[in-house]
Structure 1
Amino acid sequence: MRIRAAVTLAALTALLTPAAHAAPDEDIHLPVRDALAALTVADESRDGYERDKFRHWIDADRDGCSTRNEVLLEEAVTDPARSGRCTLTGGQWYSPYDDRYVDGPRALDIDHLVPLAESWDSGASAWTAAEREAYANDLGDRRALIAVTAASNRSKADQDPSTWLPTAAGYRCQYATDWVAVKTRWGLAVDPAEAAALTRTLGECPNVPVEVELAR
């Protein structure tokens, strides 16, 4: 059973206080290069960043499964067994960063495609705690969170595409496209080096349309 589809954007929006956030009501439909061009280009600052400012792996729909396990259940190639509140065993996953299949959930990380630190640098430092929590647990867009090998995730760390791209070259176009989509969804900026790297990468990729439902 696919779980993440049941955790809708409405559940994500419910994380936000009414005073801080209005319900998303706008979709973006653009070729990816146009979507990139529409992003604000600005210098970034890491000042004040702490990972704890992004509360993550919550159980938004109170079904016993944390955000991490919701992603694992959704992305499994072979479904794991689920016991207790949400203990997962067995199953198989595909890690697109390094083109590997992984048996069992222990060797997997759930990556924020646009890392938490990168989001802070490019706009999230001005958000409320509720908005940062919603970002860190974004199940409303399948591109935001992805199950990958722990090794590939730790190689990436908090880098943007100017210094890190997946080792699986065949996935790089998708990665750059999804990066632009997530930044668009959350109204995040790109710095000049990041914008240049994305322009180079996407210049070698099909100019596919992206559809994004704005989160804020």
Structure 2
Amino acid sequence: MPEDGKEAGGGGKEPAGKGGPALSAVDALTVKGRAPRTGYGRERFGSPWADTDSNKCPTRDDILGRDLTDVKRRAATCAVTSGTLAEDPYTGRRVEFRRGGGSEVDVDHLVALSDAWQKGAARWEPRKRIAFANDPLNLLAVDAGTNRSKGDGDTATWLPPDKSFRCTYVSGQIAVKKKYGLWVTRAERNAMRRVLAGCPEQRLPTGGNPTEAPARFTAR
């Protein structure tokens, strides 16, 4: 059943570092109950790691190249073959990346695709879902094991073990939900408020890609 709340803001590109305080932004998000997961599948967000910014590099490699140090790439391609996550944001530890099975680094969606589906994305046009799944604002290279323990949890059910990163993490989720017009549950909003009460000047990150993928991309 819908709960009280206001309509969330829209998206598009914005200059980095110009977001307002995250704590204020929480109350601008729509608050509703979680919708059913019915119909969800990864394919509803397009092929994994589509090159939506047309730089001839899959999104996953863009994020690995952005977040890792000592990056090595496959000859004549943008494929990242190795690198170091000098300080994993979720645990604070150093993590090595090697391409292939058993990698210790994942690229995480701050707002999980399934969570988004249950909070508005099921109603979107396919190109918006593809944009969401590949938006750098919603992506972060992290420790693989910790990421998999998160699953599709929201702020009410999962927070990074490294408490020093929680304000940044929550502000990132708020920024993504604001940009794409996703709602939050009451429990989620309250959890966001609790985290940000300890960092009331925390600002929203901004930027990323447009909220609609180019016309050549399709999803179910």
Shared fold (TM-score, shorter chain, > 0.5): yes
Normalising by structure 2, we get a TM-score of 0.79
Residues 1:107 and 1:26: Cα distance change in structure 2 (over 3 Å): closer
Partners of 2:146 and 2:83 lie apart in 1 by: 19
Give the aligned partner of residue 29 of structure 2: 39
Letter in 2 for 1:161: T
Could you tell me how far 1:113 is from its partner in structure 2? 0.4
Q: How far does the alpha carbon of each residue in 1:137-193 deviate from its partner, in whole angstroms, 9 at most, with x for none?
A: 113x3xx10001110110101000111100011111111111111111111100111
Give the aligned partner of residue 137 of structure 1: 134
Residues 128 and 211 of structure 2 are in contact (CA less than 8 Å); yes or no, is this contact kept in structure 1?
Answer: no
Give the aligned partner of residue 211 of structure 2: 215
Give the aligned partner of residue 24 of structure 1: 12
Could you tell me how far 1:59 is from its partner in structure 2? 2.2
Give the aligned partner of residue 72 of structure 1: 64
Give the aligned partner of residue 218 of structure 2: none
Letter in 2 for 1:24: G
Q: How far does the alpha carbon of each residue in 1:86-126 deviate from its partner, in whole angstroms, 9 at most, with x for none?
A: 33223211321111211224221110000000111111010
**Counterpart secondary structure, 1:89:** strand
Normalising by structure 1, we get a TM-score of 0.80
Give the aligned partner of residue 53 of structure 1: 44
Partners of 1:25 and 1:176 lie apart in 2 by: 20
Choose from 54, 65, 82 the match for 1:90: 82
Give the aligned partner of residue 148 of structure 1: 142
Residues 1:64 and 1:210: Cα distance change in structure 2 (over 3 Å): closer
Partners of 1:95 and 1:26 lie apart in 2 by: 26
Could you tell me how far 1:78 is from its partner in structure 2? 2.1
Residues 1:184 and 1:62: Cα distance change in structure 2 (over 3 Å): closer
Choose from 97, 103, 124 the match for 2:96: 103
Residues 123 and 189 of structure 1 are in contact (CA less than 8 Å); yes or no, is this contact kept in structure 2?
Answer: yes
Residues 29 and 178 of structure 2 are in contact (CA less than 8 Å); yes or no, is this contact kept in structure 1?
Answer: yes
Partners of 1:172 and 1:148 lie apart in 2 by: 14
**Counterpart secondary structure, 1:68:** helix
Residues 1:79 and 1:37: Cα distance change in structure 2 (over 3 Å): same
Could you tell me how far 1:198 is from its partner in structure 2? 0.7
**Counterpart secondary structure, 1:38:** coil
For the aligned residue pairs, the C-alpha RMSD in angstroms reads 2.4
Q: How far does the alpha carbon of each residue in 1:38-62 deviate from its partner, in whole angstroms, 9 at most, with x for none?
A: 0000111122211210113112355
Q: Which has the higher strand share?
A: 1
Could you tell me how far 1:79 is from its partner in structure 2? 2.2
Residues 1:23 and 1:155: Cα distance change in structure 2 (over 3 Å): closer
Q: State the percentage of identical aligned residues.
A: 38
Q: What are the equivalent positions in structure 2 for 1:168-187 lying under 5 Å apart?
A: 168-187=162-181
Runs of at least 5 residues in structure 2 that lack an aligned partner in the other structure: 1-9, 213-220
Letter in 2 for 1:215: T
Residues 168 and 202 of structure 2 are in contact (CA less than 8 Å); yes or no, is this contact kept in structure 1?
Answer: no
Runs of at least 5 residues in structure 1 that lack an aligned partner in the other structure: 1-21
